[in-house]
Homo-oligomer: A and B are copies of this chain.
Amino acid sequence: MAEAKSNKVNMKTLAKVLNVSIATISKALRDSHDIGEETKQRVIETAKLLHYVPNPYASSLRKRSSNTIAIIIPEIADSFFSQAINGIESIVGQEKYHALIYLTHDSYEREAQMFNDLSSGRVDGVLMSVASNTKDIKHIQELQQAGVPIVFFDRVCEDIPTAKIKTDDFNSAYMATKHLLEQGCKNISLVTIEGYPSILQAREGGYKKALTEHQVKSKEENIISCSNKYNQENIAVLKEHITTVKPDGIIATVEHLATTTYLACEELKLNIPNDIKVVCFTNQITAAILNPPLTTVLQPAYDMGRKAAELLFGHLAGKPIQLEKENITLPSKLIVRDSTRATD
């Protein structure tokens, strides 16, 4: 329980020491015009001397704002969200805000419960990537109607009228597919997972468009769904797929599928890129030193987080930003490496 509490110094303490009213302390510290220059200095000095730190909860209660935001994301296992958080933090820190972090583990129930809690006024705004299986969006709507601004990044919810920071999923999948076709692939499979319709459908769309443009008919059997967890089972699923469908190119649409794909190929004694070429959506720096170096679609994770935070804080600061009009797409980059090298 540990309650040492070294006689906390608060405004009352300062007021007593300086023989002025509490209001004077408060106003002096907030640099109000009401207070004389000399008094202000005395207050600031004594506050520093006594290590006064304002109680955020009293302040939040009175002001009805918390200088705190929530970051709600599915997980933090991979490099995308790590980098996005870094981007967010770069703004949060600078703005003297505080960030609460919540992981939904892609569970709708947890997400809904978190939103329920947030309707208490705990945060001034929310930055979020929605859970994979979130279909009912009432919880999000309710928080928004309660006046809490929300900015989506990456895994956006199209039906909520607010700012959305995305990457060009359609186009980057299109480019990845086109790249594989140009490297000679004729039978390209798309490895995907359940959920995240706004993203994965776009990627599927870009994939199909590239195929169509190259007069390749896209077949249902080429689209394969894995579990959204890194596990052995996915390797088996993929091996099964590869042996039956025999693709000569694979696009792995999420980070952890890179390792899965490589291991599946290895177990099947398939050579990348000779027998099969691989592209993956991933931000991992190790892509360059894989066996072989992996061609990746690199997403602007840091920038997405940063941009989302900028919009939210701009809005909170009262700048004339209409969140519902902000729909920003930042480009991903196709980084070509040996895993898709043309074989002749």
Contact = CB atoms under 8 A, between A and B. Distances in A.
Interface in A37-63: 51, 53-58, 60-61
A214 interface: no
A98 interface: yes
B75 A4 contact: no
A2 B57 contact: no
A30 to B, nearest CB: 16
Interface of A: 1-6, 8, 51, 53-58, 60-61, 66, 68, 71, 75-78, 81-83, 85-86, 89, 93, 98-103, 110, 116-117, 119-122, 145-147, 149, 230, 256, 258-259, 262-263, 266, 284-293, 315-316, 318
Contacts of A6: 145-147
Given A6-B145, A100-B98, A285 B256 contact: yes
A292 B290 CA distance: 8
Q: How many copies does the complex hold?
A: 2
Nearest to A6: B146
Nearest to A315: B2
A76 B85 contact: yes
Q: Which 6 pairs show the lowest CB-CB distances between chains A and B?
A: A291-B291, A4-B147, A262-B289, A53-B120, A57-B60, A57-B61
Contacts of A290: 286, 289-291
Nearest to A71: B101
Contact of A288 (B75, B263, B289): B263
A66 B57 contact: yes
Given A53-B116, A61-B61, A289-B290, 11 more contacts: A2-B315, A8-B121, A54-B120, A55-B61, A57-B57, A68-B100, A93-B110, A99-B101, A258-B286, A259-B288, A284-B286
